[in-house]
Structure 1
Amino acid sequence: MPPKPDKVAEYIYALKASSRMADQVVTHRSFPKSKAQYGQPEAPWPEPIAHILKKADVKKLFKHQVQAIDLIRRGENIVAATPTASGKTFMYNLPVLEALAQDPGAHALYMFPLKALTQDQIKTFRKLAANMENGPTAEIYDGDTTSYRRRKIKEAPPNAIFTNPEMLHLGFLPYHHNWEGFFGKLKFIIVDEVHTYRGVMGSHMAWVFARLLRVCRYYGSDPQFVMCSATIANPRDLACRLTGRNFKLVEKSTAPRGARHVVFMNPQTGPAQTAIMLLKAALARGLRTIVYTQSRKMTELISMWASERAGEFKDKISAYRAGYLPEERREIETKLASGELLAVVSTSALELGIDIGALDLCILVGYPGTVMATWQRGGRVGRDLSESAMVLIAGEDALDQYFMRNPEDFFSRSVENAVINPLNPVISARHIECAAAELPLNLDDPILQSGELDKTIYRLEQEGKLLRDAQGSRLYASKKKPQRDVDLRGSGSQFTIMVADPEDPEGPGGQSVGQIDLFRAFRETHPGAIYLHLGRTYRVDALDLARRTVFARPAQVDYYTQARGDKDTEILEIFDEKTVWGTRVYCGRLKVTDQVTGFESKKVRTRKSLGITPLDLPSNTFETQGLWFEIPGHTQKAVEDKFMHFMGGIHAIEHAAIGIAPLIVMADRNDLGGISTPFHPQMGGPAVFIYDGVPGGVGLSLIAFKKALELFSKTMQAIKSCPCETGCPSCVHSPKCGSGNRPIDKEASLFILESIRGAKPEKRKRIVLNKPEEANKAAEQAPPPEKPAINIQSSENKGVDLGQAYAAAIDAYIQPEREHNPFKSQENYGVLDIETRRSAAEVGGWGAAYRMGVSCSVLYDSRDDKFHEYFQDDTDALAQHLTQLDLVVGFNIIRFDYQVLSAHTAFDFSAIPTLDMLQKIYGVLGYRISLDKLAQHTLGTQKTADGLQALKWWKQGKIDKILKYCRADVAITRDLFLYGREHGHLLFQNKAKKVVRVPVKW
């Protein structure tokens, strides 16, 4: 039974009156209940929809629901950004059901970020549709759908398909030809919880939506978007950036809401222990409670500790987090909704609108990182209009303590912007490749209309991932299904966690308990790590990188582990710079190397260190975006003159800046990384770096760069206002510091910031950008000139064929490289081919090429423009001839020709500067192409014979025919070399029977 209305108020009153906890209450706010405001749609509902509303006992709709419904019925794209429990389900289901009733052949695509949400929402849809005569059909199509059901759904698509981003990306778009009927009549795309599509995932999703709309256009449909979001500062902007469409915004809720309380607590005994005490008191009063934590490990620990102390309620508490098996999550959700469980301890996995029944109390163990997430989590309680409460228990982090000292700032602060960066070069490259695999890309395709993508396309061509057709106006993907290599959530490779049988703990790992991504695997499941799962403790035996598997076994221990490591950064490119206070601040592209070097064991109860164990794991290197600022030389000298710890001071500034940055950009502190160094070789002095913690970056640090003055000011304020003397987690300590927060000097950090604020900027230093390794010494001695930007969108190209414009732009981009190409100036080159006396089968395979013997060798010499003929006994003379050339060109020359020749001379062919065309092409495409196929499509000619025919001629003594054939092969190889050197590509026919270019650099 639900609690009486006064139970929540009684709970809050008891907390504030408690002799043990009252002094920990920083602030208490009460929000009165609000009444509903109703409205009527512009047009009356047709009978089927009116019947649905009657069956649901809905006599009136809220004004904001009516506003959204009217816009949808007019054909507008809308985004509804109203609080939880405001009736968004009716907003989109009613007009969709109306449209599907009017056109039974139409389709709708519903997308949810979590499978559990999908399960919830299809139940609602089916319940509504069941009240219609011959109501629309609906099916779930996701990773849990059986292969039999998938086949049936594809054969006869229902009116509505419910899915998630990963399945759209992996199961629909690559196989769109199997969904022609569905995409051809797709009328609506419903996207729920769109605020989750920010950062890395949002940047990916912008491309997924672009690819989806591209497929829809191909099949002749133009679907309407309906998006729903939690309250964020920029819902319309986010929807527009995700889809490239215009949107109408519905954001003022007119739904009723029960009274609620918000309490901030600054605990004395640690946030976890305080949360357990609050939870025990809530259970004793019958309050159904959700406890949110900031990490998987803390979720497990609090659940385990709370169960140990809960007495009769021991079995009424459960943990919930990502990484659990689907059946485990579903069981917990069902028990919560039914009331079998009274409390759940969760990560952000339960932040979204999954139906887990009516809850009364939300306890936040630590500030969630954003105002938006705080209110979103708090909105999980009081959904039945009864009185509810949210208690925020501060952690030791800088942001938590900032709001404990400045609670008014939280309540007056608007929610944050959702940030995405679809032009992230790593993300855009992956999806351009996917799009080209789904449908060939024309250069005027809307998906490519950003000048910033031209360099990405060029790079993909050079890497052999995109292949241009012979005319240069269309792009194909070289891989058939590149979608499999793209992780939308940016977490990298997934590792399976296998644990030994509890009945046989010394036996081999045999049961999966979930998954973990690569980055977390290094830090949470390294050898020796303590891993927690549903209250059970395991010790990790091995991290198998090759098999992507973690092996662990049950272990009863009273300690936990924390990874330690080192980081290094390299400046690759500077985007912008400016003066802030008395120093220079920069933003640009960085290369970060993160190395886990060991782990520290700590007592669970006291957090006392038990020692550090070294580890030998590979490093994680990635490119990203970041900001950095130099520490002036006079400041460093002043710090050292006062005998303060300079490295400890800048290390403290780094931690404090990262801790306070989420106030400025919508990010968790875990989305950002940092490095402080007393000497950075490129800067020529000390510097502090803050960067996006994901490959490619998502633009968070670039926003922080624009607001650098605010970042500096708030960082100083956070350090100065903290009452500690030497530094603590509330100001300059970081919970994820790889060096264990050593060294840290709070006094030095304030001195440095004060010095910078009051100083005049020093003379600007020159930052040395490291040059990429060149292919040869000549390139090192004379680096190529700077390349111009590629831009085919300029006004000069209007009315010009885009294929020609793109080719011209690319030519201009790579021309300096061509002019600098060492092969370009080497007119003193030779082209070599040989024929053998015996076949591979006769000598025991290609590995025994040295036994094949030489029937003849033909060398074209560019100096005299002649073909020179050699036989087996002339191999030393041939070798001597090769030494006179600047370059020797061949086709499979290194692995074949040289191997055959090496049996007949002591000469070392590896000393010859050689261009193996087959090796170069294989390096780009990942597969071989025959010389004959290249010649047919590039030169319009073909080989005069083949190797087997040449062997027959040898046995017949027809050496003249062999020489003629070999000379023809050398001529073809030479002409292909010259064509590739001049045009930067050769032509071949791919598996799809399209003539395409393979880029070459020789």
Structure 2
Amino acid sequence: MPDRRAPIDTEHPLLAGLLTGCPPGETPLRHVEQVPPRPLTSAAWPDWAAADLVAALASAGIDAPWPHQVEAAEHAWAGDSVVIATGTASGKSLAYQLPMLSAVLADARSRALYLSPTKALAADQHRALTALGLPGVRAATLDGDTPFEERDWIRQHANVVLSNPDLLHRTLLPQHQRYSGFLRRLRFVVIDECHHYRGLFGSHVSLVLRRLRRLCALYGAAPVFVLASATSATPGQSASRLVGLPVRTVDSDRSPRGPRTFALWEPPLAIAGSQNSAPIRRAAGSEAARLLADLVIAGARTLVFTRSRRGAELTALSAKNHLIEAGATELADRIAAYRGGYLAQERRALERALTSGELLGVATTNALELGVDITGLDAVVLAGYPGTLASLWQQAGRAGRRGQDALVVFIARDDPLDTYLVNNPAAIFARPVEASVTDPTNPHVLGPQLCCAAAELALTTADVELFGGPAAEQVLAALVEQGLLRRRPAGWFWTDRNRPSANLRGAGHPVTVVESGSGSLLGTVDAGTAPATVHPEAVYLHQGNSFVVEELDLEHGAALVRPEDPPWTTSAQEITDIAILATEQSAMLDGVSVGFGTVEVSHQVVSFQRRRFSGELLDETPLDMPLQRLVTKAVWYTLDAASVAEAGLDQPELPGALHAAEHAAIGLLPLFATCDRWDIGGVSTALHADTGRPTVFVYDGHPGGAGFAARGHAVLPDWLAATRGAIAGCECPAGCPSCIQSPKCGNGNNPLDKAGALLVLDAVLARVIIR
């Protein structure tokens, strides 16, 4: 733990200004990292690059490409699929534009497909292509908002189609006969921001891309895939797993960059309203609003990234109030919020105002992390860890003008992972970013995707390898047994006249959230999480607005809500049990065992608590929700009696020690796997029926697993060492939200034993690290 009174280099004038007024001898600054500049390095245009394209790029101010752009473009032009994994503002778009646009300019019959995770990003790319003014390029966006009368023109005439995996899955592939001309001439498929395809969603997209390749082959095409990613661990392996093909890697970023000062900031502890409440930190959003106001007063163009739409709105509003209180009323109008849910023209106006300097400060969600060309800012503030190091560096990369210093401030939320990161700078600055985790062999993903593929074109034995080999064979047999597919000598056939359904962004049929008064559809939640998130009287947030649930109808998949803004939050309380169905990997290490395999998690929501925003508990209300079962993957460890005794743990302390270690481990797994703590769950018990020992489980919160527990098993020593460091480094005396308390605990964070958790982790680490 760093000495909070030790001097830290604060030479950057903006950072020195932010620290003005901090109490003497106490500073929220935990570390300052100087990220060095990178000089300009240019390369020659490839000789195959279309002359009209080179001229258009020169007119746009791009006189010469950077070496990594040319390297990736050369691979793609030579017919090799490639991923370019470099930082924000490193010109990844030029790497795929060069081969894609040169191809359609050389042959008007050539086609290219651009896929992005959001419609907004595809629209931005369309504007960029249109701005080049190339008469031979007919680019068009094809998404759920595209009118049907325009789709016919796009299908017949567009040679660059910009879309997303959802439309590919729901429209283009099921109607492949209508799009046969496009698929037959498809030469390049661009997958932008491919690091966002992870977990269950990424596994679905991986199989959608295999379906695309299969139908292209039907029409005689074999497109080259060009993937663009943020910097990530093993980008080639992740990209290859995503598309199912060998993929070359370009990850040496040669783009110019000015120096950056990167500050790690931890708000001070405060005491919650209730006398018995654990200490909590000042909210990261409140701290970010104060810093935003100070930076705007200093004349710095600043972007604040928050974790939610509501957070963006509240941060902007609070910063305005700070400016008014400081007598800088004229500056309040130069701050705004930016988030999803705004109209396209509103977003464009905000982007222009920020770029021009009309706006000095913007509080945003990750909507400005992807693709939108906002760079050259003086400062970026991150109000909480964005979930992955890849996202952290993407957001931080928005700061910096070429050759000029910029400031990045990461403010820790009251969360174990945030606390660990600001007190362990090497976890940010001295380690690679996470590997994107996908598992296309997950049977819960494979099943519906194989049904979709069979409905498009009967599956043959040659297709089995494409969709996962032995795993696909097992799932196909189960689908035949269920009557969903029919096995014939020619292959597997879809048996229903209706299309099969597969939800790319979740498993099962979602529960729709409907406003009872107007009948408006507000959104959806996964059926598995509905009892915990939209139970009767739950507070539900949507686009910054608050609602209270009136009724949950799980049978018909609907939750009715009414607009209301109560001064409290709600959290469901659950009873959870876990059974080991199959152990796939196990190791015994001197009394400590580590395992990985398939488990069945049964849980039931039995009540909900209401708490004031300060954390004070108001009451607890019983609920009668159905028992739910989840078959998924888990990693676990156990201790024998000798290990427990050697650690100095008494039996009455054991449940709280294991529970606290479980919570902290869940909070730290996102440091090693591209997941959020809400994607995973945990169970701890002083005596588990299947192991016969004290056991801690961490499991994937998705049917069949999403690869997170598997990643935790693979890096268990590092993961648990970081977990121990987060607990030991927290300054609270007995446990708080920064170390062992969890916002999603179904048992109301009881019992918890901070000191006991350290003893448990020491006992495990003493064995697993030595091995």
- TM-score, normalized by length of structure 1? 0.69
Query: What corresponds to 2:171 in structure 1?
Result: 171
Give, in angstroms, the shift of residue 103 of structure 1.
0.9
Query: What corresponds to 1:466 in structure 2?
Result: 485
AA aligned opposite 2:492: L
AA aligned opposite 1:82: T
Asked if the contact 2:700/2:707 (under 8 Å) is kept, the reply is yes
Give, in angstroms, the shift of residue 493 of structure 1.
3.9
Q: Give ranges in structure 2 of 5+ residues lacking alignment.
A: 1-10, 269-281
AA aligned opposite 2:449: H
Query: What corresponds to 2:422 in structure 1?
Result: 404
Instruction: State which of 560, 580, 583 in structure 2 corresponds to 1:574.
Output: 583
Distance 2:362 2:601 in 1: 38
1:103 matches 2:111: no
Query: What corresponds to 2:603 in structure 1?
Result: 594
Give, in angstroms, the shift of residue 486 of structure 1.
1.1
Distance 1:430 1:624 in 2: 17
- Alignment CA distance shift 1:215-1:225 (3 Å): same
AA aligned opposite 1:139: A
Distance 2:717 2:60 in 1: 55
User: 1:522-921 to 2 correspondence within 5 Å?
Assistant: 522-546=531-555, 548-604=557-613, 606-634=614-642, 642=650, 644-754=652-762
Instruction: State which of 16, 26, 36 in structure 1 corresponds to 2:40.
Output: 36
Asked if the contact 2:658/2:684 (under 8 Å) is kept, the reply is yes
- Alignment CA distance shift 1:630-1:562 (3 Å): same
Query: What corresponds to 2:229 in structure 1?
Result: 229
Give, in angstroms, the shift of residue 332 of structure 1.
3.6
User: 1:321-340 to 2 correspondence within 5 Å?
Assistant: 324=341, 327-328=342-343, 331-339=346-354
Q: Which range moved further: 244-253 or 452-461?
A: 244-253
Asked if the contact 1:662/1:669 (under 8 Å) is kept, the reply is yes
AA aligned opposite 2:267: P
Q: Tell me, what secondary structure is at the counterpart of 2:749? A: coil
Distance 2:149 2:236 in 1: 40
1:213 matches 2:213: yes
Q: Which range moved further: 434-443 or 473-482?
A: 473-482
Cα offsets for 1:689-734 (capped at 9, x unmatched): 1111211112221232233333444433433343333222232222
Cα offsets for 1:377-431 (capped at 9, x unmatched): 2123336765432211112322222223222342111212122111111111221
Q: Which range moved further: 511-520 or 581-590?
A: 511-520
Asked if the contact 1:491/1:517 (under 8 Å) is kept, the reply is yes
Asked if the contact 1:582/1:758 (under 8 Å) is kept, the reply is no
Distance 1:330 1:522 in 2: 37
AA aligned opposite 2:206: A
AA aligned opposite 1:557: P
1:26 matches 2:26: no
User: 1:302-317 to 2 correspondence within 5 Å?
Assistant: 302-303=315-316, 305-306=318-319, 308-311=321-324, 312=329, 317=335
- Alignment CA distance shift 1:691-1:305 (3 Å): same
AA aligned opposite 1:121: Q
Asked if the contact 1:624/1:693 (under 8 Å) is kept, the reply is yes
Cα offsets for 1:827-860 (capped at 9, x unmatched): xxxxxxxxxxxxxxxxxxxxxxxxxxxxxxxxxx
Give, in angstroms, the shift of residue 82 of structure 1.
1.2
Distance 2:649 2:64 in 1: 75
Query: What corresponds to 1:428 in structure 2?
Result: 446
1:455 matches 2:463: no
Identical columns (%): 35
Q: Give ranges in structure 1 of 5+ residues lacking alignment.
A: 1-7, 501-507, 761-1002
AA aligned opposite 2:138: T
Q: Tell me, what secondary structure is at the counterpart of 1:476? A: strand
Distance 2:651 2:184 in 1: 73
Asked if the contact 2:435/2:674 (under 8 Å) is kept, the reply is yes
- Alignment CA distance shift 1:526-1:293 (3 Å): farther
Cα offsets for 1:939-988 (capped at 9, x unmatched): xxxxxxxxxxxxxxxxxxxxxxxxxxxxxxxxxxxxxxxxxxxxxxxxxx
Larger gyration radius, structure 1 or structure 2? 1
AA aligned opposite 1:336: E
Instruction: State which of 379, 382, 396 in structure 1 corresponds to 2:400.
Output: 382
Query: What corresponds to 2:7 in structure 1?
Result: none
User: 1:916-931 to 2 correspondence within 5 Å?
Assistant: none
Distance 1:203 1:486 in 2: 12
Distance 1:712 1:90 in 2: 41
AA aligned opposite 2:198: R
Distance 1:518 1:320 in 2: 30
Q: Tell me, what secondary structure is at the counterpart of 2:698? A: strand
Give, in angstroms, the shift of residue 481 of structure 1.
5.1
Asked if the contact 2:111/2:187 (under 8 Å) is kept, the reply is yes
Give, in angstroms, the shift of residue 515 of structure 1.
4.5
Cα offsets for 1:323-362 (capped at 9, x unmatched): x4xx546624542333375544444343212245654322
AA aligned opposite 2:22: S
Cα offsets for 1:572-593 (capped at 9, x unmatched): 1111210235212211101122
Distance 2:706 2:175 in 1: 29
Distance 2:212 2:649 in 1: 62
Give, in angstroms, the shift of residue 257 of structure 1.
1.5
Asked if the contact 1:435/1:441 (under 8 Å) is kept, the reply is yes
Q: Tell me, what secondary structure is at the counterpart of 1:441? A: coil
Cα offsets for 1:102-128 (capped at 9, x unmatched): 111111111111000011001111222
Query: What corresponds to 1:192 in structure 2?
Result: 192
Asked if the contact 1:639/1:748 (under 8 Å) is kept, the reply is no
Give, in angstroms, the shift of residue 284 of structure 1.
2.4
Asked if the contact 1:116/1:330 (under 8 Å) is kept, the reply is no
1:371 matches 2:371: no
- TM-score, normalized by length of structure 2? 0.88
Q: Tell me, what secondary structure is at the counterpart of 1:142? A: coil
Distance 1:511 1:260 in 2: 46
- Alignment CA distance shift 1:354-1:705 (3 Å): same
Distance 1:304 1:548 in 2: 36
- Alignment CA distance shift 1:366-1:741 (3 Å): same
Give, in angstroms, the shift of residue 742 of structure 1.
0.8
Distance 2:498 2:760 in 1: 53
Cα offsets for 1:659-704 (capped at 9, x unmatched): 2323343433333210112333233343211111211112221232
- Alignment CA distance shift 1:360-1:530 (3 Å): farther
Query: What corresponds to 2:56 in structure 1?
Result: 52
Asked if the contact 2:207/2:467 (under 8 Å) is kept, the reply is no
AA aligned opposite 2:147: T
AA aligned opposite 1:226: V
Distance 1:759 1:104 in 2: 64
AA aligned opposite 2:17: A
Q: Which range moved further: 516-525 or 575-584?
A: 516-525
Q: Give aligned pairs, total.
A: 736
Give, in angstroms, the shift of residue 536 of structure 1.
3.9
Distance 2:583 2:19 in 1: 53
AA aligned opposite 1:223: P
Q: Tell me, what secondary structure is at the counterpart of 1:39? A: coil
Give, in angstroms, the shift of residue 533 of structure 1.
4.3
- Alignment CA distance shift 1:146-1:63 (3 Å): same
Query: What corresponds to 2:182 in structure 1?
Result: 182
Give, in angstroms, the shift of residue 175 of structure 1.
0.8
AA aligned opposite 2:457: L
Asked if the contact 1:334/1:356 (under 8 Å) is kept, the reply is no
Cα offsets for 1:43-81 (capped at 9, x unmatched): 164432233134223322222222223223322222111
Give, in angstroms, the shift of residue 27 of structure 1.
1.3
Asked if the contact 2:375/2:398 (under 8 Å) is kept, the reply is no
Give, in angstroms, the shift of residue 510 of structure 1.
4.3
Give, in angstroms, the shift of residue 298 of structure 1.
4.4
Q: Tell me, what secondary structure is at the counterpart of 2:27? A: helix
Give, in angstroms, the shift of residue 88 of structure 1.
1.7
User: 1:339-350 to 2 correspondence within 5 Å?
Assistant: 339=354, 342-350=360-368
- Alignment CA distance shift 1:614-1:289 (3 Å): farther
Distance 1:210 1:335 in 2: 38
Distance 1:390 1:545 in 2: 45
Query: What corresponds to 1:136 in structure 2?
Result: 137
Asked if the contact 1:639/1:645 (under 8 Å) is kept, the reply is no
Asked if the contact 1:187/1:224 (under 8 Å) is kept, the reply is yes
Query: What corresponds to 1:145 in structure 2?
Result: 146
